[in-house]
Amino acid sequence: MIDGVEVVLDFTDPFNASDDLLDEADDDMDGLTNGEEVLFGTDRLDPDTDDDGLSDGDEVNLYSTDPTQADSDADSLGDGAEILNWSTDPNHPDTDRDGLSDGDEVFTHGTNATREDTDGDGLDDGEEVLVQGTDPLVQDTDLGGVGDGVEVLVDGTDPLNGSDDFDPSADNDNDGLTNSEEVVHGTDYLDPDTDDDGLFDGEEVNDYGTDPLDADSDSDGLSDGDEVNTYGTDPLDADSDNDGLSDGDEINTYLTNPLDSDSDDDGLSDGQEVKTYGTDPLDPDTDDDGLEDGEEVMVHSTDPLDRDTDNDALIDGAEVLLETDPLDPDTDGEGLLDGDEVLNWTTDPNKADTDADGLDDYEEVFTYGTDPLEADSDSDGLDDYAELFTHLTRTTTVSTMESRSTLTELTRSISTATTVA
C-alpha cells in the first residue's frame, strides 16, 4: 500500500504491511468492507467506531444510524441503548411523539418512550408534564377519584384539585341535578345555570320542562328566566295569551301585556290591532272618534284609523250617537251632508224634510231659500210647499211662470192670486 494512502486515507502504519487496506476485506468484522468504512468515515479496525453498542455495519445496513455518532438523534439515548434496551427509534428524538424526548422519558420522568400515554389516563405524557403539571405515571394525580384525562377533556375540572372531581351521585353545582343527571342532559355539572337564562338547570328540567341548554326554549325573544321570574309568561309557549304576538314582541316592541290578549280592552286582540288593522293596541280608540276600535271594526264597519269614515264632517262617534249612518255622508239622501245639517243648518240629518212642509231640506236651503226648520217660512198661514206649488198653480192665469225666478216674484204672484180670488 502506498505510504500516502496509508497515512492520509487509511490511518495505517506505513511501516506495517499487515494492516494495509484491502477494499473488499472487512478487517474488523463489523459488516462493512474496508472500502465502505472509508466511505462512511468509520474505523476499519474498530467494529464499533462510535462505541454506541452497535456495530458499524448494523448502523449502516440495518438501522440507518450514523456509525460515527453514538446518539444519532441527539435525544440523550445512545443508538445502541435505543435499539437494544428501550426499543425506541434511534433516528427520531421522540419515538412516541408525545412531546417528550426519549432521553427525558427514560432518565427524567421514567415514562415509556414508546407509549405516548404511559399511565393510560387520556393525556399524552408531554401534556401532563409540560401543560397540566400532572404525573404522567399516575392516572389520577389529585387522587380525587377521576382520571386526569377525564378532568381535563370531559369535566373541565382541575386535575390537581381533588375536591372538584366528578361524583355521579353528588350535585357539585347545587342546581338540583346530580352530576350523573347533568351528563344525561348535557349540562355543566360545575355551572348551576348552563345556558345563563336565570333558571337553575334543575329547575328547568324538574319544574318547568324547559331546555337547560337553550336560554329561550320557546324562541319568543324572552329568556326562560325572564318569562318565569319577571313576566309570568309561559316559557314553553311563544305566545302566552294567544293574541298573535310573541311574548317577546309584546314586551320589547309593542309594550302590550303578554298575558292579556286585548291590552286596551277595545274588542280587538293585540295581534289584530298590530298586524291587521294597524291600530294602537294600547289605545282603545285609536282615531279618537268616540268609538272603540273593536266597535268600529265589528259593529259599524267604520275605519278605526279615520275619525270621519264617510267624510261628512261628523265624526263616526257623533254619527252613531245621532243615529246617522257613519258610512253614508247623506243619511237621509236629500242632498245635504249630515255634517252640514247638524253643524250649519241644524236640520235633522235623518229626515229629508225636517219641518215636514213638503220641501226637502236641500230644496229649502239651496233651491227656494226657505227655512228648512219652519214649515211656513213667512208665517202667512200657508206652508212653504203650498205657497210654492199649490197656490202658484191656481194663479197661473194671471201671472206667468217667469215670476218663479225668485222667491220675491213668487210671493208677489201668490199675493195677486189671493186678491183676485
- Please name the amino acid found at residue 138: V
Residue 155 lies in a domain: no
| Assigned C-alpha cell, 286 | 285609536
Task: Evaluate whether residue 397 is within a structural domain.
Answer: yes
CA distance 282 to 21: 112
* CA 85/CA 87 separation, integer angstroms: 6
Alpha helices in 119-232 (DSSP H): 125-127, 148-150, 179-185, 201-203, 224-226
- Give me the number of domains the chain comprises: 1
Distance CA 382, CA 178 (A): 103
Confidence at residue 166, expressed as pLDDT on a 0 to 100 scale: 73
In a domain, 218, yes or no: no
How many CB atoms within 10 Å of residue 418? 13
Cell numbers standing for residue 40: 462512511
Confirm if 387 and 358 have CB atoms less than 8 A apart. Answer: no
Dist. CA 163–CA 172, nearest whole Å:
10
The whole-number pLDDT of residue 91 equals 97
pTM over 0.85: no
Long-range interactions of 93-99: CB distance < 8 A, separation 24+: 96/125, 98/124, 98/125, 98/126, 98/127, 99/124, 99/125, 99/126, 99/127, 99/129, 99/130
Burial class (CB in 10 A: 0-12, 13-18, 19+), 163: exposed
Asked whether residue 389 is assigned to any structural domain, the reply reads yes
Note whether residue 415 is domain-resident.
yes
Task: Compute the distance between CA of residue 418 and CA of residue 421 in angstroms, rounded to an integer.
Answer: 5
Angle at CA of residue 334, ends 332 and 339, nearest 5°: 65
44 backbone φψ class: left, alpha, beta (φ>0; ψ -120 to 50): alpha
**Nearest-5° angle of CA 84, CA 85, CA 88?**
85
DSSP-based three-state secondary structure for 59: helix
Q: Is residue 335 situated within a structural domain?
A: no
User: Cα(231)–Cα(241) distance, rounded to whole angstroms?
Assistant: 12
The answer to whether residue 384 sits within a structural domain is: yes
pLDDT tens series, the chain, 421 aa: 556 555 555 556 667 766 555 778 999 999 999 999 999 999 999 999 999 999 999 999 999 999 999 999 999 999 999 999 999 999 999 999 999 999 999 999 999 999 999 999 999 999 999 999 999 999 999 988 888 998 899 878 899 988 777 778 889 899 999 988 998 999 998 899 999 999 999 999 999 999 999 999 999 999 999 999 999 999 999 999 999 999 999 999 999 999 999 999 999 999 999 999 999 999 999 999 999 999 999 999 999 999 999 999 999 999 999 999 999 999 999 999 999 999 999 999 999 999 999 999 999 999 999 999 999 999 999 999 998 988 764 333 233 333 333 433 433 443 333 334 4
Domain with 391 in it: 376-421
Please, what's the largest Cα pairwise distance for the chain?
Answer: 187
With b meaning 16 or more CB within 10 Å and e meaning fewer, what string describes 351-361?
bbbbbebebbb
- Asked if residue 400 belongs to a domain, the reply is yes
Q: What pLDDT is stored for residue 412 in this prediction? A: 40
Nearby residues of 386 by Cβ (< 8 Å), 6 or more positions away: 358
User: In whole angstroms, how far apart are CA 401 and each of 93, 263, 367, 392, 398?
Assistant: 133, 68, 16, 9, 10
Question: CB-based contacts of 253: which residues, under 8 Å, 6+ apart?
Answer: none
Separation between Cα atoms, residue 111 and residue 64, nearest integer Å: 26
Grid cell 321570574 is found at 229
Alpha carbon distance 50, 376 (integer Å) = 146
